[in-house]
Amino acid sequence: MSHAEDSIIVCRCEDVTLGEIRKAIREGAVTLDEVKRITRAGMGPCQGRTCRLLVAGEIARFCGKHVSGILQSKYRPPVKPVKMGDLAALELTPLSEPGHGQQSGASPECTCGKAVNGR
Amino acid sequence: MKTRADAVVIGGGVVGAAIAYNLAKLGLKDTVVCEKHTFASGSTGRCGAGVREQWGAEGNIRMCKAAIDIFETLQEELEYDYDIEFVQKGYLMLAYTEKEWEQFKANLKVQHRLGVNAVALTPEEAREIVPSLNIEGLYGATYNPRDGHANPFHTTRAYLKAFERLGGEVYCFTEVTGIEQSNGKIQKVRTTRGDISTPVVVNAAGPWAAPVAAMVGIDLPVYTERHQILVTEPVGRLFDPMLMSFSRGFYSQQTPHGSIIMGIGDPDEPKGYDIGHSWQFLKRMCDIMCSVVPALMGVRVVRQWSGLYTISPDAHPILGTVSGIDGYYQAVGFSGHGFMLAPIVGKVIAEMILDRPLSIDISGLDLGRFERGDLRVEPSVV
Ligand SMILES: Cc1cc2nc3c(=O)[nH]c(=O)nc-3n(C[C@H](O)[C@H](O)[C@H](O)COP(=O)(O)OP(=O)(O)OC[C@H]3O[C@@H](n4cnc5c(N)ncnc54)[C@H](O)[C@@H]3O)c2cc1C
């Protein structure tokens, strides 16, 4: 592996280079979560949309496995970054499906876990 | 994988990692950590990683004080080549009700007696420390500059790497499925990758402490509960100290990287192992924090997740031996503050196992206290 390759930016959100990712893998990281926890690759605003597959490919190459055999990390909400002010301004209107939002106690705090409409 | 060891630590979270490192440091040769997933994949990797001396109960204050002493030189002690990001910018504890303010003042008395340099502040003085703070509705605040936070992934990994350098072995994706004992002595640990004979086993299994304790017939009085948390995009410095309030249930810190982490307790959260996330949390969290620091309104949430608290009946950890089972040790039930306690707990449990003088008295924190009815009380938990 050349030095030039090591300086390629793999995670653009967090400025993580291929060299840093390869170092973490050499030191024992064999899952996307471990690489993420060590280097921050995939923790930025795009949440790994660009670098996930590249990192998985690096792990796979190092471990001699197929990419499909590399443990993925979870996709976490929100799908796109959302301003805290917009979230605070949301009015949560309960859905009118049976068993949800029908009881008199239905309120913005409804915590039954079912989907709740935004605005 | 080894088939025999001097000690097996169950759990690769910050507590198991700290115990394992201290065992190796004190000279125990063949120590093994069994982790069913990857390092810090349990509560540790999901936590707020705040570290504070500002507690109400004497035991917690003493332990956290000793833990901060260790945190201050941990990076060098562990010779870690990344940064554990331990920063001491204080905790600013915010009182929004008269009752909370009275509690803070009572806590300060205990803290001062034990040598903690926390101070009481008026709302205006609090705003001098955090200019972005909205002081509407604030009764007062307390501030301790020695409090802070660290990076939970790197702290755990730093312990594990130092442990490995001292000859210890970490087995990830290795779940402990059984513990054998005979004549009241630990004999063997069964794992998904084979058996390990050992005279010593340490339960540092975090949320799974109760199922592990059940393997030796102990009924642990703990339960688990989801706590949700989120992180924003990195932004310029909005506040230095950790902000926290019990009446409003939140805590929030801005990491050295600039992103802001925040969590909030939910009094209606059911017991259990659910680690899903909800819209209701996002909304409530943003509502509250946008009123505490209005500048947050323009800051974007990047990710939300959740983790488990493992709660004991008196919100204090359950530490040490259990009578009748020679070679079994536990460090469990941290009740939402195990990250900050890990450095001192790791040290003391290792000292206990190797029969050394203990750095700090933890005799009142054994499992037996619940039978004796000798419960601790901690008024200041989120
Ligand atoms: C949202 C949130 C915020 C928090 N904020 C703070 C904070 O600001 N400050 C603070 O001090 N604390 C905080 N905490 C609490 C803190 O995270 C925990 O107390 C601490 O991480 C406990 O560490 P641990 O090593 O005991 O447990 P864990 O990190 O859960 O580690 C236990 C490990 O054991 C493994 N394991 C379990 N069973 C087995 C088995 N049978 N075989 C093999 N391995 C097994 C698990 O996979 C896990 O990795 C917070 C927690 C949450 C959820």
Q: Which domains does chain B have, with CATH numbers?
A: 7-47+153-221+314-372 (3.50.50.60), 91-144+223-311 (3.30.9.10)
What local confidence, expressed as pLDDT, does residue A2 receive? 66
B300·A88 Cβ contact <8 A: no
Q: Is residue A104's pLDDT more than 60?
A: no
B301: nearest CB among A82, A90, A110: A82
Domain count of chain A?
1
| Interface size, chain A vs chain B, as Cβ–Cβ contacts under 8 Å | 94
Q: What percent of chain B has pLDDT over 70?
A: 100
Is A7 inside any structural domain?
yes
Domain that holds residue A28: 3-69
Looking at the complex, report in whole angstroms how far the Cα of residue A85 sits from the nearest Cα belonging to chain B.
Answer: 4
Looking at the complex, report in whole angstroms how far the Cα of residue B297 sits from the nearest Cα belonging to chain A.
Answer: 4
Is A93 inside any structural domain?
no
A40·B257 Cβ contact <8 A: yes
Tokens found for residue B210: 């109760």
A33·B38 Cβ contact <8 A: yes
B298: nearest CB among A74, A83, A92: A83
What local confidence, expressed as pLDDT, does residue B312 receive? 96
Q: Provide the ipTM.
A: 0.91
* Residue B73: strand, helix, or coil: helix
A47·B286 Cβ contact <8 A: no
Output the residue whose Cα is nearest ligand 1's atom 50. B47
B280·A109 Cβ contact <8 A: yes
Is A80 inside any structural domain?
no
Q: Is residue A108's pLDDT more than 50?
A: no
Is A115 inside any structural domain?
no
Strand-pair category, B31-34 with B169-171: parallel
What local confidence, expressed as pLDDT, does residue B341 receive? 98
Give distance in angstroms: CA of B238 to centre of ligand 1: 28
B300·A33 Cβ contact <8 A: no
What local confidence, expressed as pLDDT, does residue B171 receive? 98
Give distance in angstroms: CA of B310 to centre of ligand 1: 8
A85: nearest CB among B38, B233, B298: B298
What are the φ/ψ torsions at residue B296 (nearest 5 degrees)? -70, -20
B290 and chain A in contact, CB less than 8 A: yes
Output the average pLDDT for chain A: 81
Ligand 1 touching residue B164 (CB < 6 A) = no
Atom index in ligand 1 nearest the CA of residue B307 equals 53
What local confidence, expressed as pLDDT, does residue B188 receive? 98
CATH number at residue A14: 1.10.10.1100
Distance (Å, whole) CA B31 – CA B326: 17
Who's near B35: CB < 8 A, 6+ residues apart? B11, B12, B16, B41, B170, B171, B172, B173, B174
Output the residue whose Cα is nearest ligand 1's atom 21. B44
With a cut of 50, list the residues of chain B below it in pLDDT.
none
Local confidence band at A75 (pLDDT 50, 70, 90 cut-offs):
confident
Distance (Å, whole) CA A110 – CA A107: 5
What local confidence, expressed as pLDDT, does residue A93 receive? 64
Q: Is residue A3's pLDDT more than 80?
A: no
Is A98 inside any structural domain?
no
Predicted TM-score (pTM) of this structure: 0.94
Q: Concatenated DSSP letters for A8-71? A: -EEETTTTEEHHHHHHHHHTT--SHHHHHHHH-TT-STTTTTTTHHHHHHHHHHHHT--GGGSP
Distance (Å, whole) CA B64 – CA B74: 14
A37 and chain B in contact, CB less than 8 A: yes
A69 and chain B in contact, CB less than 8 A: no
Q: Which of A49, A84, A92 to mutate to test the interface with B (most CBs of B within 10 A)?
A: A84
- In this predicted model, what pLDDT tens digit does every residue of B303-359 receive, in sequence order? 999 999 999 999 999 999 999 999 999 999 999 999 999 999 999 999 999 999 999
Give distance in angstroms: CA of B44 to centre of ligand 1: 4
Ligand 1 touching residue B96 (CB < 6 A) = no
A84: nearest CB among B161, B278, B296: B296
What are the φ/ψ torsions at residue A23 (nearest 5 degrees)? -65, -45
B131 and chain A in contact, CB less than 8 A: no
CB-based burial of residue B187 (10 Å sphere; 0-12 exposed, 13-18 middle, 19+ buried)?
A: middle
A79 and chain B in contact, CB less than 8 A: no
Q: Is residue A92's pLDDT more than 90?
A: no
Ligand 1 touching residue B13 (CB < 6 A) = yes
Looking at the complex, report in whole angstroms how far the Cα of residue A117 sits from the nearest Cα belonging to chain B.
Answer: 10
Residues B109-136 as b or e (16 or more Cβ within 10 Å = b) = eebeeeebebebbebeebbebbeebebe
Question: Which element (helix H / strand E) includes B373?
Answer: none
Can you tell me the mean pLDDT for A78-91? 93
